[in-house]
Amino acid sequence: MQSRSIDPYLNSSFECSCGRTHKSLFAHYIFEPEAIRKLPDLLKRLGYTRPYLISDTHTHEIAGIKAEEVLQRAEIRFTSHVLQSPENGDIAADEYALGSIAMANDKEADIIISIGTGTINDLGRYFSYITGRPFLLIATAPSMDGLVSGVAPLIFHNMKITFPAQEPLALICDPEIMAAAPLKMLAAGAADILGKYNCLLDWKLSHIVNNEYYCDTIAGIMRRAVDQTMESTKGLASHDKEAVSVLTEALVLSGIAMDFSENSRPASGAEHHQSHYWEMQFLFDGIPAVLHGTKVGIGTVLMLELYNALAEMEKPDFDRIRGEISCRPSLEEWEKEMRRCYRDGAEGIIELEKKSGKNEPEGLLKRLSVIEEKWDEIRSLAQTAPKASEIYQVLEKMGAAKIPADVGIPRQYVYDSIRYGKELRDRYTILQLMWDIGELDKAAEKLVEKYCDENE
């Protein structure tokens, strides 16, 4: 079964008005009952004969056993590796899990198949990329937006880094399995897509300030994904299959948008920096993992608060801002803060800043000139942002987490993520803009006061 919203982009290549050629290798989208039964025929049609299956304890039971059975009946040889899920939380997408997959690798396998959605998908497509083999995904929940993307966010040396990865040739989804996923996973998928409200603003903002590449066609695909998701949220609480189908299509469109742009820019902004920062802190402190999309939803509310504040802000006194640059923390003071916040991952953050220089006075002065000149355009962009309260209410109606305390994110984590989450990437977002104009620390204090309990 195909989708009219996805069909035009399957195995596509076209010259875009932005001046680039957009390509996607993703060619087969199967969303229908008993979809896993089509795996043998699909493999034969694609010309592959020996798959390497990767799953975890949970996804193996949900769909992995079924996949193994249909392959056995079709007399297709395969290797299956099941990562052991921890009792509390989920497997981390880190070098240890990747090492387990590598050690169980079947060198004669000609295609990698991940059975799962989040971590298992990220690990499988990255392993596929580094071993030079094609990739196929059997999804078990519509819980994240990387179903068909060509990048994989992985933890390496305690740092969350987005690596290039192999986009899938095909995506197999059984609506019975997808709709039966826990509500928290359905809500996480929807929240991940709602985060695109913010990341599209961030992308356009960077285009205005830094003249970063921006494509209206790709942004349009992403906006359709967000619109579809808003339509589906009402039915997710009851596990409605049509709502799950709409959400899954939106998640697929998000991955296609990332493929067309050849990076995660259309689908990841400051809201993802919040999520990644909190995830790293949870790992450092041994706290069970929280679904990525769940954290993105919370981060989206916080970042939209910044855009809403920007929309109401009078034009700053740029002469004063320039005059106070020398009063900002020194490089030594900043590095001390990075070691406090990022702990074992601090050296990676410090090295990134050495390469990007995004906090250096010279670059700041250059950006301030552009921001001053284009202030009205920037403010107009901010005025197109939805109200943070609207997204809060949508999350609430889905039964999703809305504030940091809902998933145990401490007050200090939130304060630090707002002030220093921008250091995770060389990517211009609302966080960097607020830092540029000297408003970020005050904004962090206000958001923590509004969304975090004093006793945390």
Half-sphere exposure of 168 (CA within 13 A, CB side): 27
pLDDT tens digits, residue range 9-32? 998 999 999 999 999 889 999 999
Q: Is the pLDDT of residue 424 over 70?
A: yes
Cα-based torsion angle of the residue sequence 99, 185, 195, 351 in order, rounded to the nearest 10 degrees: -20
How much is the average pLDDT of 261-276? 94
Q: Which pLDDT value is given to residue 453? A: 85
pLDDT tens-place string over residues 98-130: 999 999 999 999 999 999 988 999 999 999 999
Least confident of 228-232, 362-366, 371-375: 228-232
**CATH topology identical between 7-181 and 241-451:** no
CA dist., res. 383 & res. 118, Å (int): 33
Residue 52 has pLDDT above 90, yes or no: yes
Q: Dihedral, CA atoms, 196, 198, 200, 201, nearest 10 degrees?
A: 170
Is residue 273 classed as helix, strand or coil in its secondary structure?
Answer: helix
Q: Of the ranges 42-56, 77-91, 377-391, which one carries the lowest mean pLDDT score?
A: 77-91
More confident residue, 328 or 3: 328
Mean per-residue pLDDT over the chain, rounded:
94
**The pLDDT of residue 161 is above 90:** no
List the domain boundaries for the chain: 7-181, 241-451
pLDDT bracket for residue 286 (50, 70, 90): confident
CB-CB contact of 407 with 187 (8 Å): no
Provide the residue type at 349 as one letter: I
Angle (nearest 5°) at CA 133 between 131 and 135: 120
Whether residue 281 has pLDDT greater than 80? yes
* Coil, strand or helix at 234: helix
**Statement: 7-181 belongs to CATH 1.25.40.10:** no
Strand 151-156 with 135-138, pairing = unpaired
Please tell me the CATH code under which domain 241-451 is placed: 1.20.1090
**pLDDT for res 455:** 66
Percent of the chain with pLDDT over 90: 84
Res 2: pLDDT: 46
Q: Which carries the bigger pLDDT value, residue 376 or residue 289?
A: 376
